[in-house]
Structure 1
């Protein structure tokens, strides 16, 4: 004990601002999680009642079995591998506590799955939905994310989920109508604890004889939290000893406090809080999507005369879904359309569709199913955030409204996978063969400018990476490693990466070496540039999206120069085409996933092996056919604004005002 206390004291001394979680904070975490779980369960019950049925008994059986799995995680933690075989400690503890023999396989599988996810989180390999829930609860009660406080919060959440799920397993087919004192007296008789399991691992690896939590199936009317000693039974319980039922912290913590109605004018503030809660999990694009969705939903609510969150009904969720069916798919690209009210946007969309139809054109109104799914998912996040923030939000469901997710077989058919011979004509446009000037990339000429539009399409073609991964590269991320020129893809000061497996080292394709890519990098270093493609960034913007800027610079020029245009989602299609070409060449899925920055699904890929090394990857990418061999190496010529370290012509100007349009509005913010 002295050694453990000394270690804790040393940690506090090394981190002066470190502070252990208080009992009140842990109690609040428990209460918040219990409330959230009960609301989810109640929502399922209400949805079943609306359809004239009750939830399937098998679903409640699953609730009960998952509850037992959480009870095990609370008691034993995740470090120890439990045995569920005949005579195993976990099996015997479950049977003694009231679980059935038929429950054991499901409980074991659930326990193992949750345990592996938690261990992966602790090793930093993943950031699972459970970990995001833990961090959200800690943020709600003002806890810093330290190892000790995180463990304490995890224990409270496991205990809360176990309590709620085990309580929900009662059969609702015979509803209780009294709810009076006699029923509560009966509940006290029914709560009989089971023998405590032997020596589970606690937060500091407790020794033999120390107190351990009990495995007790809780009655729906009671719940206890060890975070609150006043409401907790004794830590060690003898077999057969009865405990006194204690009111749940979820019911006592907010006693006498009613939920608040949030006026629509407060939605903007709350959506920013939601984004802040998820800042480590969401990309900027995701945050922007959530803002847009909340703005649209607020417009629908205003259209229906809603003034605060307590007046939101299922009718308004359905109205939002119908709104998506009657607007232009690309409405978000137009500042004028974005400024319209929800009713005005539908009317303008209908008017444009009618005009195009009169001209013989066919325009399809309505957003794509995948976009609608994303919007409804964001709405779900927002409404849950309001409810968790103690605002009044009535029940809602997306059942029957959310478009179905297409089967994997259909997804494969939806994305174009251009073959090398289909991509080859792309490299005959003036950007690669010679253009008239820097300002006229679509006109043929004698000048070759080495820039993002010249090198990025080759990187996407020969390496198949994501758009922002290469568009947001820094000069220092092109390096020599183990005798190979390589590109380091990692999070940097201008962009994030999608996930942990996106962090990787890729060999530089030989074709880019032949076409003077290294000389291009050295020239940027001489000029003092930090960005590999500086023309994709504006000093006037707080946030730059280099991938989006490249798309706007390159794709319209390519579509104009190619007689048949480009395929759908052209940059992402290059990524799909790269993977498909390697697969057809006999390369294994695991190697393709290593190159592409995806995590495989097999045990070998996720646990037992490291990503393929540079030497192997160099051999693999060489299997992709050379389709730029007709291009001749040219002396490095940078774009004039890059050569003179000036902002690009588009910087600070509105869409459509690029390259010398005098009407462009100057930025308010001065470049640094």
Structure 2
């Protein structure tokens, strides 16, 4: 109620001459719309009779289901995303009001489609047919075009359409032939009583009785109304002031929503993660946990104690917080432990110190990161509502950074070509290093592992980072006499989507540089992971992709100062696709190699993924950029050879690269 009153005050301030809708105008809109709907339905019936038939039961079934969807739009409006799951209050309300269980999926689909159109209209992205009808009705009754008046007119039209469609669902195959009874004459529009039509609008934490008291003309007294289909006929007179049987969601049986203390946020975020365990990667779940932690800190900073006290102000405060923090704060355990207020102060101090030294540090997260964070907050707040906790209404309109057009996205990511990637393979990792712990110091030793093979795999095949860092030894397979890499979900990591499941050929250059011998040596030692040095036995959650990034990128930055491009590992994926495209490879084949689903009907419906034989031929079009490297006898990292935890995997920070429990590799193992 407070939100709507604030909107009314803003409307009056911005448009002092705009007139609010009167009861009479809204009643006329209802009458005009229900008459138009009845005329349309009668025309369909008349056309069917002219062909010697009656309208099929399926058509009237659809009328009834669409009528229920319009009834929900009238009852809840378009700002609320309803849950239709079995056991939800909406599901129970529809069944109690007369809908059948088999109707629910169609009702839900229609409701969401109409709601999406209304939201697009509200944001100014479209001008849907329904909005044109609303504006036409408003013009017919002389109603000013304002946001509040549009909402009021839309509600009456939803109610009118629901009444007409639910009444039309009565099967007329057995007409009454007793005679004498005629359809009651429809009342002239000007003669229709001006009492406000019934309009269910239940506040989130209010009892049904409390939801009916709204002290302004535009927010009218409400009485929930969904007439049962068995009691309505197409000839019933319009009685907008007479309340019909109530929708179950607004019945006295409905329990008030509960306030969730901030201390309960952690438990609820884990329930949200569990609900999406089959859809979310661990990275996504981690992002949601981080976001909820940040939002909780913002709420505590503003003195909020439970979910019922969350307001739009706090959502806006979170958005502003993102503008004043270091963009890479997440890489620092110390910064991650700070409260939002402390993080903003520390970020400002770091930026000021850099400015004194003549450097510039830009504060604020990137737009894409902010969009992701706000999307995760939306998931969480909707989860709280669906779990029957009190959460007032919120919006991200005006807060969420716009999504860049596709043309801009193309320019945002570097696409290094073969000549750009070639210098990477001059590093000591590939040509010889001093010892295992010094991959950036030139020497005579070549160690085979993730640092050696993964950059080649990324360059020649263009996979996603985790697809290859999480490979198992048994996923290097032989098919039709050729070696291949089977990408699928496994115990180490999931895959992004169904099309990510694919079979890729092992490039000839990796065969020459003894990749298969490396795999066989791991099998002999009993390793299950293809790159065991990326795994820590002490961590509950171990992302091998992150570990490889931390191992490889700092070394590359030291060896190639000023040369390495931004997001280097992902850039290799982009460069691979760009190189093949310029070599004349079709986009469909590139999509199959990259594990993406094409957008054409041919790609999605009529063809299977490209076969292994053709893929071997295609990847050969990528130029050889490792030809200067000589094959070396397989030599594993000492800790992999001895099946020990890697040096970085100490239980405490002081144990890293020098485990005091006796697991540090012997010196003799470093210089075979």
Give the alignment's TM-score, normalised by structure 1.
Answer: 0.70
Partners of 1:635 and 1:139 in 2: CA distance:
63
> 1:483 deviation in Å?
2.4
Query: Superposed, which structure 2 residues align to 1:232-311 within 5 Å?
Result: 233-234=229-230, 245-252=244-251, 255-311=253-309
Partners of 1:426 and 1:176 in 2: CA distance:
64
Partner residue in 2 for 1:93: 59
> 1:342 deviation in Å?
1.4
> 1:663 deviation in Å?
12
Query: Superposed, which structure 2 residues align to 1:138-537 within 5 Å?
Result: 138=86, 155-160=103-108, 162=110, 173=149, 193-195=167-169, 233-234=229-230, 245-252=244-251, 255-537=253-535
Distance verdict in 2 for CA 1:498–1:174, change over 3 Å: closer
Match of 1:540 among 538, 541, 559: 538
> 1:247 deviation in Å?
2.3
Per-residue CA deviation, residues 273-307 of structure 1 (Å, 9 max, x unaligned), is 11111111111111111111111111111111111
Partners of 1:133 and 1:536 in 2: CA distance:
43
Partners of 2:101 and 2:65 in 1: CA distance:
26
Aligned length: 528
> 1:256 deviation in Å?
4.9
> 1:548 deviation in Å?
0.7
Partners of 1:163 and 1:470 in 2: CA distance:
42
Distance verdict in 2 for CA 1:418–1:187, change over 3 Å: closer
- Does the Cα contact within 8 Å between 2:448 and 2:636 map onto a contact in 1? yes
The alignment partner of 2:257 has SS state of: coil
The alignment partner of 2:520 has SS state of: helix
Q: Which has the larger radius of gyration?
A: 2
Partner residue in 2 for 1:81: none
Structure 2 alignment gaps of length 5 or more: 38-52, 71-80, 92-99, 119-129, 139-147, 174-196, 202-225, 665-672
Distance verdict in 2 for CA 1:347–1:616, change over 3 Å: same
Per-residue CA deviation, residues 394-439 of structure 1 (Å, 9 max, x unaligned), is 1111111111111111111110100100100000001000111111
Partners of 1:636 and 1:47 in 2: CA distance:
76
Partners of 2:564 and 2:629 in 1: CA distance:
21
The alignment partner of 2:167 has SS state of: coil
Per-residue CA deviation, residues 109-137 of structure 1 (Å, 9 max, x unaligned), is xxxxxxxxxxxxxxxxxxxxxxx998x93
Partners of 2:330 and 2:248 in 1: CA distance:
46
The alignment partner of 1:571 has SS state of: helix
- Does the Cα contact within 8 Å between 2:60 and 2:169 map onto a contact in 1? no
The alignment partner of 1:345 has SS state of: helix
Per-residue CA deviation, residues 546-593 of structure 1 (Å, 9 max, x unaligned), is 111111111111111114341100000000000000001011111100
Distance verdict in 2 for CA 1:657–1:48, change over 3 Å: farther
Partners of 2:489 and 2:576 in 1: CA distance:
23
The alignment partner of 2:495 has SS state of: coil
Distance verdict in 2 for CA 1:196–1:363, change over 3 Å: same
- Does the Cα contact within 8 Å between 2:538 and 2:651 map onto a contact in 1? no
Pairwise CA RMSD? 4.5
- Does the Cα contact within 8 Å between 1:654 and 1:664 map onto a contact in 2? no
- Does the Cα contact within 8 Å between 2:316 and 2:399 map onto a contact in 1? yes
Partners of 2:88 and 2:162 in 1: CA distance:
33
1:642 maps to 2:607: no
Match of 1:631 among 629, 654, 665: 629
Distance verdict in 2 for CA 1:284–1:656, change over 3 Å: farther
> 1:186 deviation in Å?
11
Per-residue CA deviation, residues 60-111 of structure 1 (Å, 9 max, x unaligned), is 9xxx9xxx9xxxxxxxxxxxxxxxxxx99899938995999xxxxxx9xxxx
Partners of 1:158 and 1:251 in 2: CA distance:
22
> 1:220 deviation in Å?
7.3
- Does the Cα contact within 8 Å between 1:222 and 1:245 map onto a contact in 2? no
Distance verdict in 2 for CA 1:457–1:89, change over 3 Å: farther
Partner residue in 2 for 1:601: 599
Partners of 2:248 and 2:502 in 1: CA distance:
46
The alignment partner of 1:576 has SS state of: helix
Partners of 2:663 and 2:644 in 1: CA distance:
17
Per-residue CA deviation, residues 151-181 of structure 1 (Å, 9 max, x unaligned), is x97742432564798899787738889x9xx
Partner residue in 1 for 2:584: 586
Partner residue in 1 for 2:560: 562
Partner residue in 2 for 1:24: none
Distance verdict in 2 for CA 1:629–1:307, change over 3 Å: same
Give the alignment's TM-score, normalised by structure 2.
Answer: 0.70
- Does the Cα contact within 8 Å between 1:191 and 1:245 map onto a contact in 2? no
The alignment partner of 1:650 has SS state of: helix
Partners of 1:176 and 1:626 in 2: CA distance:
67
Partners of 1:559 and 1:166 in 2: CA distance:
52
Partners of 2:581 and 2:63 in 1: CA distance:
52
Partners of 1:46 and 1:612 in 2: CA distance:
59
Partner residue in 1 for 2:669: none
The alignment partner of 1:485 has SS state of: strand
> 1:377 deviation in Å?
0.8
Partners of 1:242 and 1:163 in 2: CA distance:
27
Per-residue CA deviation, residues 135-156 of structure 1 (Å, 9 max, x unaligned), is x935869x9xxxxxxxx97742
Partner residue in 2 for 1:8: none
Partner residue in 1 for 2:73: none
Partners of 1:186 and 1:374 in 2: CA distance:
39
The alignment partner of 1:409 has SS state of: helix
> 1:615 deviation in Å?
0.7
Distance verdict in 2 for CA 1:256–1:526, change over 3 Å: closer
Distance verdict in 2 for CA 1:441–1:190, change over 3 Å: closer
> 1:360 deviation in Å?
0.9
The alignment partner of 1:479 has SS state of: strand
Partners of 1:450 and 1:597 in 2: CA distance:
27
